[in-house]
Amino acid sequence: MLVRLIYVSTAHEKIEKDEFRKILDAANRLNSQKGLTGMLAFNGNYFLQALEGDREEVNRLYNKLNLDERHHNLAVLKFEEIQHRQWSSWSMGFAAAKTENKLLFLKYSAGNIFNPYTMSGDGAEKLLLELTDNMIALTQPTPISQPIISESQIITQPVVQLPTTEQMIASATLDNKPSSNIFSRLFKG
């Protein structure tokens, strides 16, 4: 059974650039192994994450996340059975929730600042979809093997092969400025 879970949580303390890279790298690696896909938005304070995949795997990961001491106040905004994935190419996509997107935040929540606790489940999902389309994503789709079923056998074929998260962060630019200060600019607001 394919499901999608969207939840919000609050960081216990400021998460530094290196720690955040570790989180993204681990999510990309582990989610790919488990057949999970999704999207993460983070502004230095709040995490908004969508997870898609097998019901058991999504529940197992959410229970593990619930024990992670780097964040607290986990709240499920939406949980549903789905026919297809919204983020099928992303083991874990990431887009920074920046103050430049105040109108987008206002569109889906009670105010113009990024606070997923004020969003409905549908609003949070739509915001993540728009962030996927409109914001600079620091991670690229991780190769996920998907079975192609023929009459006589199942062939596993990689979907994409793209740079690692570290390579994408190193080469990312924001507002035509060098990437050396990208995290300090991304997490403001």
Distance between start and end Cα atoms, the chain: 38
Q: Which of 7, 109, 105 is nearest to 50 (CA)?
A: 7
Query: How does DSSP assign 45-106, residue by residue?
Result: SEEEEEEEEEHHHHHHHHHHHHH-TTEEEEEEEEEEE-SS-SSTT-SSEEEE--GGGHHHHH
Domain spans of the chain, in order of start: 2-186
The structure's pTM equals: 0.69
Residue with tokens 């079975």: 147
How would you list the strands of the sheet with 93-96, edge to edge? Answer: 71-81, 2-11, 46-54, 37-42, 93-96
Whether the Cβ atoms of residue 179 and residue 173 lie closer than 8 Å to each other: yes
Cα–Cα distance, 111 to 121 (Å, whole number): 16
Provide CB contacts within 8 A for 134, sequence distance 6+: 101, 104
- Class of CATH domain 2-186: alpha beta
Residue-wise pLDDT tens digits, 44-86: 888 899 999 999 999 999 999 999 888 899 999 999 999 999 9
Instruction: Reduce the DSSP state of residue 127 to 3 states and report it.
Output: helix
As a dihedral over the C-alpha atoms of residue 18, residue 161, residue 125, residue 8, rounded to 10 degrees, the angle is -20
Residue-wise pLDDT tens digits, 132-145: 875 444 444 444 44
Cα 8 → chain centroid? 11
Cα–Cα distance, 181 to 17 (Å, whole number): 10
Residue-wise pLDDT tens digits, 117-132: 999 999 999 999 888 8
Q: Band the pLDDT of 100: cuts 50, 70, 90.
A: confident
